[in-house]
Amino acid sequence: MKLGTFGRKVNLGVIGLGHRGYEQMKLLASMEDVVIKAISDNYPDRVQRALDHLKQVGRPAPFASESADDVLNRKDIEAVVIMTSWETHFPLAIKAIKNGIKPALEVGGSSSVQECWDLVNASETYQVPVMMLENCCYGEEELTLLNMVRQGVFGELVHVRGAYEHDLREEVGKGDIIRHYRQHHFLTRNAELYPTHELGPIARYLDINYGNRMLYLTSMSSKAAGLSAWMKEHRQDKPELANHQVNQGDVVVTQIMCANGETIVLTHDCTLPRPYSRGGRIQGTKGIWMEDNRSIYIDGRSPVNPDHWTHEWEKDTAYMEEYRSDLWKDYLDFGTRGGHGGMDYLVFRAFIEAIQQGTAFPIDVYDTVTWRVITTLSEQSIAMGSLPVAIPDFTNGKWLTRRDEAVGEYKLGR
Amino acid sequence: MKLGTFGRKVNLGVIGLGHRGYEQMKLLASMEDVVIKAISDNYPDRVQRALDHLKQVGRPAPFASESADDVLNRKDIEAVVIMTSWETHFPLAIKAIKNGIKPALEVGGSSSVQECWDLVNASETYQVPVMMLENCCYGEEELTLLNMVRQGVFGELVHVRGAYEHDLREEVGKGDIIRHYRQHHFLTRNAELYPTHELGPIARYLDINYGNRMLYLTSMSSKAAGLSAWMKEHRQDKPELANHQVNQGDVVVTQIMCANGETIVLTHDCTLPRPYSRGGRIQGTKGIWMEDNRSIYIDGRSPVNPDHWTHEWEKDTAYMEEYRSDLWKDYLDFGTRGGHGGMDYLVFRAFIEAIQQGTAFPIDVYDTVTWRVITTLSEQSIAMGSLPVAIPDFTNGKWLTRRDEAVGEYKLGR
């Protein structure tokens, strides 16, 4: 639907109102066709803050609770947005499905392979679709690159990289142990904790679940030096944190082999000082693009300098303009809004409009679990000295011939 | 010894006079204290070209042969520079050792783990030292970075990357099958074929063989699409090449775990279109440097922009100036010469001067095999679906307490 036009009203529940959940709820509350019917969070102060906001913007007061179950048991919502701690996404989504409520999950990893199967099985059994709100799939750059890949700019794809490289030492280290769920993961696990920001877009470049699939991975973790050093320096106010053992290695690198012979490298790099990057790199038989130097080289198109001994990088600016996606052309005309450069808004519109139109979600249950299971499998590989670990085929063979059933401007797969 | 001053004359043999060997022989012939006493190559035209050059620059005509054995059996040389095909370096070096001749090997990989042990055993048994001519260890940038690492600019090192990223499609594909040894490797093997340009410098950053060691690796290879496509397009003159199967994957990524918990990622990326890079990246508890965007971020030193949501890159120019190594300060005053930005000259001087002074080689037999064995081990890992493979301790425990016995300005280890 054209950006800025709205369809029939969709009654939503919103679960999880921490930093991210609160901001996202505000964005939802700004949409004319969304009615927030019920909200919950474990902490009453967060519930109150959300209620205050809705009142302030003139929205009707929703049902409010400290229990997610209370939201999921309501009969007046058809969909729910789950923005709780990573490890609670799957059980909450499965409860929603069983109650006939369509769940949208915020991004994150997985706790076990089994919970991924449980989500697939629940969705298939109850015929309730699931979406993951992987905003980066709707990033301006990512959609431009998807367009370039589909138009063959890189030739046959061979190797793709992505990363979540974000200095979270302060964010993870500053909280107290009880409320900051992310802290538990960093203190206690060692894994590719957060794969989907880069893997979502990469999966589309490589047609994962649509004629291609990820076969196996290996993962290796560096020592954990960055967060301990930071907490030792900054958290003497809380000695149990300052002296806490940190299990999460500073840099975790995961390699993934695909059925069609392409390889993927993912990097999780969140506890050392560094600028933010999603570490993108796309390579094919015709050329290469790299995020960190915003550069590209395409055989036969990039300028050739006869005085230089080999190829030279070209800035990617002209390509980013030339191959901009139709969705982003419209969005720039309309005016971007919401967080993360505007992509948060787009992923919500994809969710809401698919519900309104009764069409398939563009990031479905198979995508959700295929991307998120990497956390668990990388954890297993690291624990076993980087042994290769097989990646389940959650489609049970449907990937061989599957086509994306989503429709309209938010469709991502083929 | 001060650059531009020369010591006693060193009588050298030179084996292998292909493209690289010929250029390097010319560089050796330009040094006042080097006497090229004997040369050989399998191909008489190459021998003749070398003889012609030496005559032209007024050097005495050396003994010349098509057999390397003839060179290694001479009594009038004390050292030999081996610049033949990768797979012949080890057997030739072992023959040299048995004849009391000190061998310098050009860079390359390995064919087996056993040949690495054979070289170590020969060197230990006959008490003849070995050097590898890893020029990148003497690169301006690499020595600057080593200086920064030693001065603690990056804090505690955690993760290091390097690469050999060089579009060799034309170089590998243009030759005929018989004379271009590199072509055999690309057509027939699948491995991290050429690890030492990046791994040599990295090994020094991480004190490998000097209190640290590499424990195990995993390796994954993408499909092989780039070189076949290139040959199909450009080598219709030679159908056996145009239609030849290519085994070497376009992008091979190898992860290495070190005893002290640091991880290394190596990339071999030689058959897709791309600009050249050694893909450097150094990360520690205080900051990060990246080659591809020539940028750095150091906690507490890099500028902080209060309007930006997170850290920002800073160009590395000022650091490269500030931390320039003493050797390169002298070298820039003296004037760089020889190939590859001047580092070829330095690594030869390191070799020649150690012989003159009777001191240890700065890149010794343990370094040589520790770096080169990665080729074979990555090949094994790839062949077995990325299984982790243990890296031998060629020092047999000496790494625990070993110190670099090289002296003077060319010393690299601690």
Burial of A315 (0-12, 13-18, 19+ CB in 10 A): exposed
CA distance B104 to chain A (A): 27
Rounded-to-10 torsion of CA A357, A362, A367, A369 = -40
Query: For the residues A152-160, what does the mean pLDDT come to?
Result: 98
What is B183-212 written as a DSSP string? HHHHHH--S----HHHHHHHHHHTTBTTTB
Q: How confident is the model at residue A283 (pLDDT cuts 50, 70, 90)?
A: very high
Test A251 with B386 for CB contact under 8 angstroms: no
Phi, psi (degrees; rounded to nearest 5) at A320: -65, -30
Q: How confident is the model at residue B236 (pLDDT cuts 50, 70, 90)?
A: very high
Test B272 with A283 for CB contact under 8 angstroms: yes
* CB atoms inside a 10 Å sphere around CB A392: 16
Residue B402 has pLDDT above 80, yes or no: yes
Query: For the residues A98-120, what does the mean pLDDT come to?
Result: 98
| B171 within 8 A of B234, measured Cβ to Cβ | no
* CB atoms inside a 10 Å sphere around CB A403: 9
The kind and range of the H/E element at A389 are strand A389-390
B168-186 burial code (b ≥16 CB/10 A, e <16): bbeebbbbeeeebbbbebb
Mutation site, A228, A252, A267, A293, interface B, largest B CB count within 10 A: A293
Write out chain A residues lying below 8 Å of B221, CB-based.
263
Query: For the residues B75-89, what does the mean pLDDT come to?
Result: 97
Mutation site, B165, B190, B263, B277, interface A, largest A CB count within 10 A: B263
Q: Which fold has domain B10-134?
A: Rossmann fold (3.40.50)
A26-61 burial code (b ≥16 CB/10 A, e <16): bebbebebbbbbbbbbbeeebbeebbeebeeeebee
Minimal Cα distance from A311: which residue of B?
Answer: B275
Test A156 with B276 for CB contact under 8 angstroms: no
Residue A175 has pLDDT above 80, yes or no: no
Minimal Cα distance from B156: which residue of A?
Answer: A225
Pick B261's closest partner by Cβ from A222, A260, A262. A222
Q: Which residue, among B61, B321, B18, has the nearest Cα to B178 in the 3D structure?
A: B18
Query: For the residues B311-334, what does the mean pLDDT come to?
Result: 97
Write out chain B residues lying below 8 Å of A221, CB-based.
263
Test B263 with A155 for CB contact under 8 angstroms: no
Residue that the structure tokens 């390889």 belong to = A263
Mutation site, A206, A253, A381, interface B, largest B CB count within 10 A: A253
Pick A388's closest partner by Cβ from B225, B285, B387. B387
Pick A292's closest partner by Cβ from B167, B290, B312. B290
Write out chain A residues lying below 8 Å of B257, CB-based.
220, 386
CA distance B267 to chain A (A): 11
Mutation site, A167, A248, A283, interface B, largest B CB count within 10 A: A283
Strand order of the sheet with strand B157-165?
A: B314-315, B295-298, B287-290, B281-284, B157-165, B263-269, B251-258, B214-221, B389-390
In angstroms, the Cα distances linking A34 to A13, A38, A66 are 10, 12, 22
Pick A311's closest partner by Cβ from B158, B167, B251. B167
Pick A251's closest partner by Cβ from B159, B293, B295. B159
Write out chain A residues lying below 8 Å of B245, CB-based.
none
Residue B98 has pLDDT above 80, yes or no: yes
Asked whether this chain's domains B10-134 and B136-327+365-400 adopt the same fold, the reply is: no
pLDDT in the model for residue B38: 98
Pick B312's closest partner by Cβ from A269, A275, A283. A275
Pick B274's closest partner by Cβ from A216, A253, A311. A311
Taking CA B12 as the corner, what is the angle to CA B7 and CA B18, rounded to the nearest 5 degrees?
125
Write out chain A residues lying below 8 Å of B313, CB-based.
275
CA distance A363 to chain B (A): 26
Q: How confident is the model at residue A58 (pLDDT cuts 50, 70, 90)?
A: very high
Q: Which residues contact B397 (CB under 8 A, 6 or more apart)?
A: none
CA distance B337 to chain A (A): 17
Write out chain A residues lying below 8 Å of B249, CB-based.
263
pLDDT digits 0-9 by tens, B297-315:
999 999 999 889 999 999 9
Query: For the residues B375-395, what does the mean pLDDT come to?
Result: 98
Test B263 with A221 for CB contact under 8 angstroms: yes
* DSSP helix/strand/coil, A158: strand
Residue B290 has pLDDT above 70, yes or no: yes
Q: How confident is the model at residue B175 (pLDDT cuts 50, 70, 90)?
A: confident
Residue A180 has pLDDT above 80, yes or no: no
Pick B288's closest partner by Cβ from A155, A261, A274. A274
Pick A297's closest partner by Cβ from B155, B274, B312. B274
**Cα A201 to the center of its chain, rounded Å:** 9
Query: For the residues B259-266, what does the mean pLDDT come to?
Result: 98
**Considering chain B, what is the average pLDDT of its residues?**
96
Q: How confident is the model at residue B373 (pLDDT cuts 50, 70, 90)?
A: very high
> Percentage of chain A surpassing pLDDT 70?
99
Pick B273's closest partner by Cβ from A220, A288, A295. A288
Write out chain B residues lying below 8 Å of A297, CB-based.
273-275
Minimal Cα distance from B288: which residue of A?
Answer: A274
Q: How far apart are CA A205 and CA A203, in angstroms?
A: 6
In angstroms, the Cα distances linking B312 to A216, B11, B292, B306 are 35, 54, 15, 11
| Secondary-structure percent of chain A, ordered helix, strand, coil, rounded to 5 | 40, 20, 40
Mutation site, B164, B230, B283, interface A, largest A CB count within 10 A: B283
The kind and range of the H/E element at A366 are helix A365-383
What are the domain boundaries of chain B? 10-134, 136-327+365-400
Test B386 with A385 for CB contact under 8 angstroms: no
CA distance B219 to chain A (A): 9
Residue B232 has pLDDT above 80, yes or no: yes
Test A285 with B273 for CB contact under 8 angstroms: yes
Residue B180 has pLDDT above 90, yes or no: no
Q: How confident is the model at residue A144 (pLDDT cuts 50, 70, 90)?
A: very high
Rounded-to-10 torsion of CA A368, A370, A373, A374 = -120
Q: How confident is the model at residue A109 (pLDDT cuts 50, 70, 90)?
A: very high
Query: For the residues A332-344, what does the mean pLDDT come to?
Result: 93
Residue B177 has pLDDT above 70, yes or no: no
Test B156 with A293 for CB contact under 8 angstroms: no
Burial of B156 (0-12, 13-18, 19+ CB in 10 A): middle
R_g over Cα of chain A: 21
CA distance B269 to chain A (A): 10
pLDDT in the model for residue B339: 86
What is A290-329 written as a DSSP string? ETTTTEEEETTTS---TTSSS---EESHHHHHHT--HHHH
pLDDT digits 0-9 by tens, A219-245:
999 999 999 999 999 999 999 999 999
> Percentage of chain A surpassing pLDDT 90?
94
Test A273 with B311 for CB contact under 8 angstroms: yes
Pick A310's closest partner by Cβ from B167, B223, B311. B167
Query: For the residues B308-327, what does the mean pLDDT come to?
Result: 96
* DSSP helix/strand/coil, A282: strand
Q: How far apart are CA B245 and CA A100, in angstroms?
A: 54
Q: How far apart are CA A209 and CA A202, in angstroms?
A: 12
Q: How far apart are CA A153 and CA A403, in angstroms?
A: 22
Mutation site, A212, A222, A227, A271, interface B, largest B CB count within 10 A: A222
pLDDT in the model for residue B174: 86
Of 3.50.50.60, 3.40.50.620, 3.20.20.140, 3.30.360.10, the CATH number of A136-327+365-400 is 3.30.360.10
Q: Which residue, among A297, A301, A350, A298, has the nearest Cα to A139 in the 3D structure?
A: A350
Query: For the residues B379-387, what does the mean pLDDT come to?
Result: 98
Mutation site, A285, A301, A382, interface B, largest B CB count within 10 A: A285
Residue A179 has pLDDT above 70, yes or no: no
Write out chain B residues lying below 8 Å of A284, CB-based.
225, 272
Write out chain B residues lying below 8 Å of A276, CB-based.
310-311
Write out chain A residues lying below 8 Å of B298, CB-based.
273
Test B285 with A229 for CB contact under 8 angstroms: yes
Instruction: Please report the number of interchain residue pairs, chain A to chain B, with beta-carbon separation below 8 angstroms.
Output: 165
Test B283 with A312 for CB contact under 8 angstroms: no
Pick A285's closest partner by Cβ from B229, B257, B297. B229
